[in-house]
């Protein structure tokens, strides 16, 4: 069972980044305390890295709705309107409908979670998220018996998201999880970073975070969640089915067809960012390996 620590932090209760890091240093790596975020206990015991800076996290992104360069989201995301915002929850649920973001937030308890983020492009960072467990949000709508998968959909608004004017992706961007993955306590819906509202370039106002999977699974700016009994086909499966599968679990033993996944470049290390060994399931093996017991992870990649 993953470590779970809740508090009443709201996303506009800003935690100063330098104070945040100093406080962690004073704690000497302890994983619980007033105002401190927490990794799962098992993962924390294996290795701790300091969270990346606000600048690292917000200026180096993949969010193709705003362009393909890592700096494009920060340059162009201000055009996005996020208020009002709602999420349609439909499919195999008891209470389908459009759920206003403000109502969702009133019903949820915000938690702090420090998670690794590992991109399929073989770079990584550590992000102090604020958010709530996806399972709690799905409970609002009531998951029906027989549902096996969760499909997610990003906003489609090309007049504000300039990257959607290109035709190389069949917009809107979609992703999916098995229901047991979605209900796992490590899986969260992020609404903030460092205690601040999540920036638009990072997926405001609501994005998925699944820390044991490659970053592209953590779909941003979500407007629709569908419960289904059929495995959804995600965007990257549609574009490059020979390179991207449904699961996208971080696995140093299974290379991408065009590059190795054995190591990763740590963002924030300057021009010569260090490379470190990639951990199975991105360091969360103890918490999630049981989800895939008996599966051929080379076949189900």
Q: Which segments are annotated as binding site for Mo-molybdopterin?
A: 61, 64-65, 119, 154, 202, 207, 218-220
Place of tokens 């998670």: 115
- Enter the tokens of residue 52: 């990346």
Q: Are 278 and 212 in contact (CB under 8 A)?
A: no
Nearest residue to 48 via CA among 128, 131, 132: 128
Q: What is the largest CA-CA distance in the chain?
A: 52
CA angle 200, 65, 152 (to 5 degrees): 85
Return the structure tokens found at 33.
């305390």
Q: How many CA atoms lie within 13 A of 118 on its CB side?
A: 27
Closest CA to 235 of 225, 245, 224, 222: 245
Round to whole Å and give the CA distance between 252 and 170.
30
CA 92 to CA 138: how far, in whole Å?
11
Using alpha carbons only, what angle is made at residue 164 by residues 236 and 134, rounded to the nearest 5 degrees? 55
What does R_g of the chain's alpha carbons equal in angstroms?
18
Annotated binding-site residues read 61, 64-65, 119, 154, 202, 207, 218-220
**Alpha-carbon torsion angle 209, 214, 219, 225, nearest 10:** -80
User: SS in 3 state form for 96-137?
Assistant: CEEEEHHHHHHHCCCEEEEEEEECCCCEEEEEEEEEEEHHHH
Residue of 172, 214, 187 lying closest to 88 (CA atoms):
172
């Amino acid at each position: 069972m993953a470590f779970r620590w809740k508090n009443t932090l709201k996303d506009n209760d800003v935690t100063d980044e330098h104070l945040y890091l100093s406080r962690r240093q004073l704690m000497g790596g302890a994983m619980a305390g007033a105002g401190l975020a927490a990794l799962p206990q098992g993962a924390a015991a294996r290795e701790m890295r300091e969270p990346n800076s606000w600048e690292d996290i917000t200026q180096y992104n993949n969010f193709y709705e705003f362009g393909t360069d890592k700096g494009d989201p920060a340059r162009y995301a201000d055009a996005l309107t996020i208020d009002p915002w709602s999420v349609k929850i439909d499919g195999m649920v008891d209470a389908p409908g459009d759920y206003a973001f403000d109502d969702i937030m009133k019903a949820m308890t915000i938690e702090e979670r420090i998670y690794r983020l590992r991109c399929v492009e073989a770079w990584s960072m550590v992000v102090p998220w604020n958010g709530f467990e996806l399972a709690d949000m799905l409970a609002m709508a009531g998951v029906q018996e027989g549902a096996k998968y969760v499909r997610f959909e990003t906003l489609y608004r090309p007049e504000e998201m300039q990257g959607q004017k290109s035709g190389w992706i069949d917009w809107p961007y979609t992703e999916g999880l098995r229901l047991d993955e979605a209900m796992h306590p490590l899986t969260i819906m992020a609404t903030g970073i460092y205690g601040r509202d999540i920036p638009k370039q990072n997926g405001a106002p609501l994005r998925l975070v699944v820390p044991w999977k490659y970053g592209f699974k953590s779909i941003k700016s979500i407007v629709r969640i569908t419960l289904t009994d059929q495995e959804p086909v995600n965007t990257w499966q549609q574009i490059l089915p020979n390179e991207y599968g449904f699961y996208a679990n971080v696995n140093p033993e299974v290379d991408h067809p065009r590059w190795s996944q054995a190591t990763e470049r740590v963002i924030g290390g300057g021009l010569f960012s260090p490379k470190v060994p990639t951990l199975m399931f991105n360091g969360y093996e103890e918490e999630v390996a049981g989800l895939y017991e008996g599966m051929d992870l080379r076949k189900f990649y």
